[in-house]
Structures are given as C-alpha cells and as structure tokens.
Structure 1
Amino acid sequence: MAEIEIDGGPADPARLAALGLLNYGHFTTLRAEAGRTRGLALHLDRLVRDCRTVFGAELDRSEVRTRIRRVLPADGAPVIVRVTVFDPALGLERPAAPATPHLLVTTRPAPAAAPGPLRVRTTAYRRELPEVKHVGLFGLLHQRRLAQLDGYDDALLLDEAGRLAEGATWNLALHDGRELVWPDAAALPGVTAALLARAHPGPQRREPVAADGLGRFVAAVAVNAGVGVRPIAAIDGTSFDPAHPAVAKLRAAYEALPREDI
C-alpha cells in the first residue's frame, strides 16, 4: 500500500495544496527493498546540494533517513520512495523569503518485472536548472506525451546544439562495441548513472553525441533508480539490439552493486 507523510506525520491537505499550487521544490527517488537501497549516500548528497541551491538552506541527512524508514513496508516489499523537499510557507510573491524546508515522503509499489525496451524520439528541449532534480515536471511530461502521441514510448532531449542530453526522467548511456559513452551535455547528474559508471568494468568516456551520429553505436540504455538499466530499442530511426551483450553486462554490473541500510 502506498504511504505519504510530511515530516513524519499525516500529510495534511493544506500543506499538500501549498506544494501543488506553488510547485516549487526538489526531490530524489530511490528503490528500496528490505530496508536497503543502492546509492543512499548519493541520494542524500543530492538532497543536501539541491536544498542549498533551491532554498539556500541546510538539510539534515539523518532526518531524511529517519523519514524514509518510517514509510517502508514492514514486510520488506520493494517500493519506489520519493523524498520531496518544499516549504509550504513560501508564496508566489516572495519565493526569496527565508525558507524552512519540510519533507514529503511517499511510496508506491516497485515494478514487479523489468519493463521492455524503449523506443524514443529526440526533441529540442532543455530543462530549467538541469543540474537540479526539481519538481517542475510539466515540460518533461508534455514532451513525453507528445512522443507517445507520435507512437514512441518517451522523449530524449537535445540541447541547443542538437546534442543528446537526457531522457525525460532518465540518463542515457551508449556503447560503441568497445567503450561505454556518456553524452556530454547539460543534464541531471543521475545517481544511477553515477553508480553504473563506478561499477562498469570496461573503458568509458564522456563526449558530445550529435543526434545524427548514432549509427556508430551498437547499444543504448536508459538508467534511473526506478528501473536500473533499461535497453533502448530505437532512437528516432536508428535501431539498437536490446539483447546485445553490452546491455546484459551493464545490467549485471549495476545489479551486483551492494545495497545500503537505510
């Protein structure tokens, strides 16, 4: 069953309305199972860093861990946990007022099975403040909707120079048959991407990747905390083999990473 709390107590309608109406805050999302998760320290680092950027305030890491533990299922079932940092006292007129961050912590059941390969369409779009995982998701969801209406599963964002940046809610990794390649463009520094980069046993590099230069790659994957490593079957008109050995190796490297106690 899904859980929702604010600062460890019931999520009262007034404070939820404040978040919904102002839509100013930031978050992180992680997958937890049996009280453990991958990359906990990186998720906490993100929340602390983004809180300074968004609110000019400090965040207590130990409090975040406590709030997450409160909402985890007693039976250890896998869930997706989202920690949203916001201040219900801020208003439209003075978002620069001194902020007191509050923690909205929610869960939803984790997917029971790995989702299938993605078919994605590129689109010229840049998130506001791409280095922050903020709650301004309208533009991303609109691009995802447009891609789905056009017969694709999701959108892959391009920067102003036409270079691959990031998916709507995931990071992109490509493999040229010899090395793992991370697109070098303004994008969210994803926790799962960072973990996979650490775990990958082979050579890797960052470089700009043009949308019209995908033919040299043999495999592509989308990575985020919810699904881990997900193969991409096609980007626009370029197809990739979802069953390529490089995909299996990336997935195995990620799944071998140890989980930390929350």
Structure 2
Amino acid sequence: MAETEIEIDGAPASAAQLAALGLLNYGHFTTLRAEAGRVRGLALHLDRLVRDCRTVFAAELDREAVRDRIRGALPADGAPVIVRVTVFDPALGLERPGAAAGPRLLVTTRPAPAAAPGPLRVRTAAYRRELPEVKHVGLFGLIRHRRLAQLDGYDDALLTDPDGRITEGATWNLGFLDADGQLVWPEGDALPGVTAALLAGVHPGPQRRERVDAGSGPARYAAAFALNAGVGVRPIAAIDGTDFDPAHPGLAGLRAAYEGIGAEAV
C-alpha cells in the first residue's frame, strides 16, 4: 500500500463528507497498528470508541460494525498499517450541532513505519486538552505546540497542567523508571491510553502513580519513555534540560513486555 486510503462506512469517502469533518472539526477517533489482520489491544480500542461516542454524540456505537470496517480496510497481504477510525456526523452543522446525531465511521489506513523511530527530545508546554479523557479531533492546540517545539529544535511537546504538573505528550502517554527500576506514571488529567493500559497490565514489577512537576521533577528519574499504538514504547532522550539514557536497560524490558502481548484478530 503506497498511500493513505480513506473510507466512510466501507465506501470511498467523498469530498463533501471530508469537507464536513474538516469544517466542523467535531468527532473522536482511535489509532491502532494492524499486522496480518491482528491488533494489539483491539478490545480496548473498541471500548474507547463506544465510550467516547456516548460522550461526544450521546449515541451508541456498534462494536461489530467497527470491526467490520477495520477488517475491510486492511490490506489483503497482511502488511502492517496504521489504522485510524474517526467517528463523526457529516449532517451536523455549525449552527445546530445539538441536533440528534447519526455518527458515521471514517477509516483511514497508511503504511506503518518500517523501523522504530529514534528517541525523542521534548520540551514542556503549558496546555490542557479540552475534555482530556476523550480522544477527540480538536488537535489544533497540540499541533501548534508540537510545531513550536520543532521550530525550537525539539521533536515534540510535553504538556503541563495549570498546576505545573507534567501530564501527557502531544499525541502520546508518558512513563518513567526510577532508580530502583519501578515504573512511574505521572498524575493529572490525560488521555487513558490503550498502550499505557496494556503495558501496565503486563509489567512484572512494581508501579505507581505520582505527581511530576515540570522543571526539576523529571531529574529524579533514571529513564523516560513515550507510548502510543503506532510505535509502542519509545525512549525519551531529554525533557527540557534533563537528559536521559535512551539505551537504559529497563526500557528494553518494557519493550519486550509490550511486544509480547498477544494481538487480537480483527
């Protein structure tokens, strides 16, 4: 597959349908990696879509219909792809978004990266997503902060809340390893990530959740990493002025634990 493919309810997306999503920018989504017709954490991705559809549209989403749409969009040769399932209603308008909603399923696929990306260098940015528990399509603020970080020589932005707590990356969750190898998750309002939930479920050692303040907070940890469904566990080499060892042996253990999770058939 050489390029992104886009379908709505199993048929090629029209320009008018895509324009409706782009102009109103109201909906929610999940992104997953599929290979050979299987997805790690598929049930959790479906749970997210059903839960967020109730929040965003006050409507029920058919889990089996979502599976069918994902299955139908996968390449016949089983090549690894990144699949994004977006739920939106092209009939909703700017003037009456409170009308009864009839959500539709937009499925896009693109080739998955052939190699794992390198470590991230990130800087903190004061920003809290609207409705942070929902993976919604309101991405302007995230992309703005990512852009500004890249223009300043970093790879991405790491978000902090009004109290100065580190919460999440622009499109990823965050974890640390302390000096004893214990897994640490930052406290605060952040998206409940599927990859983070999967890793937490299989991590064999102790783990905890605690407040991590921007500034000197990250310096007390031995390693840091980003997580999302597209790349799994990705080392972080620096947060602002704090450097981490991207080859820390604990990170290899986390990657092995995550990659050992069985994938579910779509």
Q: How many residues align?
A: 262
Within 2, Cα distance between the matches of 1:31 and 1:213?
A: 32
Deviation beyond 2 Å, 4+ runs, structure 1: none
Q: Which whole-Å deviations, capped at 9, do the CAs of 1:6-65 have from their partners, x for residues lacking one?
A: 001110111111001000000000000000010000000000000000000000000000
Give secondary structure in 1 for the equivalent of 2:174.
strand
1:222 corresponds to which residue? 226
Which residue of structure 2 lines up, in the alignment, with residue 208 of structure 1? Answer: 211
Q: What corresponds to 1:82 in structure 2?
A: 84
Counterpart of 1:11 (choices 10, 13, 28) is: 13
The answer as to whether partners of 1:25 and 1:134 remain within 8 angstroms in 2 is: yes
The 5-angstrom pairing of residues 48-59 of structure 1 reads 48-59=50-61
Whether the 8 Å CA contact 1:131–1:186 is kept in 2: the answer is yes
Shift of 1:215: 1.5
Report the counterpart of residue 66 of structure 2 in structure 1. 64
Q: Does 1:151 align with 2:153?
A: yes
Alignment of 1:158-237 (within 5 A): 158-178=160-180, 179-211=182-214, 212-237=216-241
Q: Is the 8 A contact 1:122 1:156 kept in 2?
A: yes
After superposition, give the CA deviation of every residue in 1:66-85 in whole Å (9 maximum; x if it has no partner).
Answer: 00001100000000000000
TM-score by length of 1: 0.99
CA distance in 2, matches of 1:162, 1:51: 31
TM-score (norm 2): 0.98
Assess if the C-alpha contact under 8 Å between 1:177 and 1:246 holds in 2. Answer: no
> Partners of 1:119 and 1:107 in 2: how far apart?
27
Identity between Structure 1 and Structure 2 (%)? 79
Give secondary structure in 1 for the equivalent of 2:61.
coil
- C-alpha displacement of 1:177: 2.5
Q: Which amino acid aligns with 1:19?
A: L
CA RMSD of aligned residues (A): 0.6
The residue type equivalent to 1:109 in the other structure is P
Unaligned runs of 5+ in 1: none
Distance 1:16 1:146 in 2: 27
Which residue among 250, 253, 260 is the counterpart of 1:249? 253
Residues in 2 aligned to 1:204 and 1:16: alpha-carbon distance in whole angstroms: 43
**2:98, 2:50 → 1: CA distance?**
18
Match of 2:265, as an amino acid? D
